[in-house]
Amino acid sequence: MSWLESIQEQGFVILPAILDPNDIDDLLDEFSRGDLPRSRAGVRHAMRLPAVAKIARSEPLLEIAQAVLGREAFPFRATLFDKSPTANWLVVWHQDTALPLRERRETRGWGPWSVKDGVTYAHAPASALSRVLALRLHLDDSTAENSPLRVLPRTHTLGVLSDEKLHDLSTRVAAIDCLVPHGGVLAMRPLIVHASSKSQSQSLRRVLHIEYAVAAEADFGLELAIA
């Protein structure tokens, strides 16, 4: 099975040795800035950072996104997840369903709405989320001990699921730990059911999560925000 077939059928694929070491160094320098707004989990709305915008639009990552989504695919949101012994948390089984939008416009199938750090968000329907791909850039090794992402393969085709359905699937579908080496990329569909445990390691697990879309228009005139 090719990596592209794996994305289509399984909902995810691990692609090792994608990032250039110099690009990783540039990203880590950017994220080490003392004036950078941070939360306990990392850095939200990171597309505004020059090093992040540069790597998101770099040829290796665009080639992956465009192979899946088409030639017009572009990055619209980036988030740094920074787990460490002092910032450690559990993420339950879920899907990524909220998208940043330029404005609020009540539209059937969209919502509930919220505002995060000045950016408008709405939970999107499956039709919009099927046009999105996430690339998770691993700035450290993701090992069995430092809280790798866990996925339930093939669940990306089931639509937006209720909490009850998510729990049911987690008891019936064998989870896969996504062990990704430093410099590797995990490509995944946002509707694949995924989770992560608390880290059991003293090592860092920094992941830059970049999302790409087919087009700026998400649905019925709603336009994605760059975040």
Domains of the chain: 3-223 (2.60.120.620)
- Edge-first strand order for the sheet with 119-123 is 98-101, 119-123, 113-116
* Average pLDDT value for residue range 96-112: 96
Task: Give the pLDDT band of residue 140 (cuts 50, 70, 90).
Answer: very high
pTM: 0.96
Task: Give the pLDDT band of residue 59 (cuts 50, 70, 90).
Answer: very high
Question: How far from the centroid of its chain's Cα atoms is residue 17's Cα?
Answer: 18
Query: For residue 35, what are the contacts with CB-CB under 8 A and spacing of at least 6?
Result: none
